[in-house]
Amino acid sequence: MDSLPFHYVLSVLLTIAGLSHGAGVIPDNLLNAAVGGSVTFNTTVTPPEKPFVSVSWTFTTNGMTTNIITSTSSDTVGPGYQDRITLIRSTGSLELRNLALSDSGEYRVSIVPDGGVALTGDSRLDIYLPASNVVVTPNTTDLSEFNSSVSLSCSSSGSSLSFLWLNGSSEVSASEGVLIGDGGSTLTIVSVTRYDEGPFTCQVSNPVSNAKSDPVSLSISFGPENTNLKLSPSKEYYEEGSNISLSCSTESRPAALFHWALNEDLLSDTGPELRLNNIQMRQSGNYSCQAHNSKTLRYQTSQPSLVTVLERISGASITGSTNRPVEGNSVNLTCDAAGSVPTREWRKDGSPLNNDITLHDEGRLLSFSALKRTDSGEYSCKVSNPISSEEAKYKMDVNYGPESVKITGPSEIEVDQTLELTCSAESVPTASYIWRLNGTEILRNSAVFTKTVTGDSDSGSYTCQAMNDVTGNTSTSGIHRLSVKGKSAPSQGLSAGAIAGITIAALLVVVGVVGGVGYYMHKNGKLQSVNLFKKKSNGNTSGNGHDNITHRGDQVKSIPNV
């Protein structure tokens, strides 16, 4: 066996001696480094005024110790460390480069100062292969919610690796239905849900490196669920001829297939939209859509949506009974219109009906059991449904009478005056009249009787009979008595000679009267005036128009009437 160099033996001896006198000059007792990298073992020694007598570094692994470098008056470098180390002799620190996995082990330094006690220090160095090439591989990506399980495997280059699984940015940890095995490199999800689709990443690390895989997403089929039907426009009622669009939506992967039903009977239409153009009443009913997922093989049906189609109200009219309305009789008014689900509202002269008026047949028939004349007026019937309305009007006149027949006019009249008598009666329609004098018919079809009075033949008892052609009733007035005053006019006209004779006789009478008034009386020497005429009881004055005549005399005597 060859003898060891003296400086190596000295170094070992000083190192052994220093174990009890100067340990701890390396503060980092555990260092990590990557393959191919470098590491520096720093000491806490302050550079002395005089150089150290010696500085020595050794490496121990698997029970075997190797000299790295011993520096005294010269440097001795162990095998495999040439060009890999740098010794900082002033502090005893060592830099080690181009690291390999075999460099993992225990490192010791021994420093002998000039005239001092040996200083030593120990440190552990672990070398790691950096993590790289991280890849996540699922055993399958075609999954069905609640029916499938999946396993994800994480592979990576590197040494002493640890694994962390992420779903998006959230850490995945073992739980019920989630298993992590093979040292953390395998993630198994039992009975996947849609929330397990990822993206999943695998993060690999060791003390000197950290690497992450590309994200992996799973395709998880689910649904259909939350299937919903919408109507556009959304209304409670639709007018016949309208256009309606029905759309169906659902949560599903892959996209669901749609079928449509009316009153639970499948239609031939498919797809997420159903268009009903020019819709008719026969298309009313409950519509629903059914969603189907070809992967999950599940079905779901939407809530039913009611579509009610109505025909617009048109042709509103009111018709009366065939018999004409007569007071006391019954009559019906019928309100009709085309259209669906009609409601009717009756009014009279714009106001609600009285409670004593009866409606039948859901308001279609308005009945009067015994008409009153106050039932006359304008009746309206408003026919409506939720989409339209129309109003019809009917004028009803209640026929009644005649009654309260009376005659108005003079009860006395003179010959040659015009007689006018008026007959009136309460009657609808207006009554027709027959006039009688002393029981003999004298006029028909006139409410007014006129005649120039000729004599006593026009005197007597007048009556008026009123007749209503609709009610069939007649009524006669009370007796109106008429008295004619004065003489009857001649039956024939006078001749011209007779008229001349009468005129001449009248003139002679006048002359005689004038001559007879020249009778004077004197009294106290004064003239007195004497009234020659007396006024008649009717206020008319007869004579020649002179009021007074003057003569002398002391006395006034009465002058006989001429």
98-119 pLDDT tens trace: 999 999 999 999 999 998 889 9
Q: What distance in Å separates the CA atoms of residue 146 and residue 559, rounded to the nearest whole number?
A: 153
Same domain for 44 and 85, yes or no, is yes
Q: Please report the pLDDT score of residue 515 as a whole number.
A: 38
Contact between 332 and 367 (Cβ < 8 Å): yes
Tell me whether residue 511 is in a domain: no
Q: What distance in Å separates the CA atoms of residue 108 and residue 61, rounded to the nearest whole number?
A: 12
Same domain for 138 and 205, yes or no, is yes
For tokens 């298993």, the residue is 179
Query: Which parts of the chain register pLDDT below 50?
Result: 1-23, 489, 491-562
Give 554's DSSP letter: B
Same domain for 121 and 20, yes or no, is yes
Tell me whether residue 515 is in a domain: no
Q: Please report the pLDDT score of residue 487 as a whole number.
A: 65
Same domain for 303 and 328, yes or no, is no
Query: Which of 185, 217, 249 is the C-terminal boundary of a domain?
Result: 217
Query: How many domains does the chain divide into?
Result: 5
Tell me whether residue 25 is in a domain: yes
Same domain for 12 and 118, yes or no, is yes
Q: What is the pTM of this model?
A: 0.57
Q: What distance in Å separates the CA atoms of residue 74 and residue 459, rounded to the nearest whole number?
A: 184
Query: Which of 79, 107, 128 is the C-terminal boundary of a domain?
Result: 128
Tell me whether residue 116 is in a domain: yes
Same domain for 188 and 118, yes or no, is no
Quick: pLDDT tens for 19-40. 333 448 999 889 999 999 999 9
Quick: pLDDT tens for 395-454. 999 999 999 999 999 999 999 999 999 999 999 999 999 999 999 999 999 999 999 999
Q: Please report the pLDDT score of residue 24 as a whole number.
A: 81
Same domain for 319 and 304, yes or no, is no
Q: What distance in Å separates the CA atoms of residue 467 and residue 447, rounded to the nearest whole number?
A: 11
Query: Which of 217, 238, 262 is the C-terminal boundary of a domain?
Result: 217
Q: What distance in Å separates the CA atoms of residue 430 and residue 433, rounded to the nearest whole number?
A: 10
Q: Which residues of 466-478 are buried (b: 16+ CB within 10 A; e: fewer)?
A: bbbeebebbbebe
Quick: pLDDT tens for 213-267. 999 999 999 999 999 999 999 999 999 999 999 999 999 999 999 999 999 999 9
Tell me whether residue 17 is in a domain: yes
Coil vs helix vs strand at 281: helix
Same domain for 146 and 123, yes or no, is no
Same domain for 292 and 193, yes or no, is no
Q: Please report the pLDDT score of residue 511 as a whole number.
A: 34
Tell me whether residue 560 is in a domain: no
Q: What distance in Å separates the CA atoms of residue 168 and residue 164, rounded to the nearest whole number?
A: 12
Tell me whether residue 204 is in a domain: yes
Tell me whether residue 239 is in a domain: yes
Q: Which domain holds residue 318?
A: 314-396
Q: Please report the pLDDT score of residue 488 as a whole number.
A: 55
Q: Computed over its alpha carbons, how large is the radius of gyration of the chain? A: 71
Q: Which residues of 350-385 are buried (b: 16+ CB within 10 A; e: fewer)?
A: eeeeeeebeeeeeebebebeebeeebbeebbbbbbb
Same domain for 184 and 286, yes or no, is no
Same domain for 15 and 97, yes or no, is yes
The CATH code of the domain that includes 199 is: 2.60.40.10
Same domain for 332 and 370, yes or no, is yes
Q: Please report the pLDDT score of residue 53 as a whole number.
A: 95
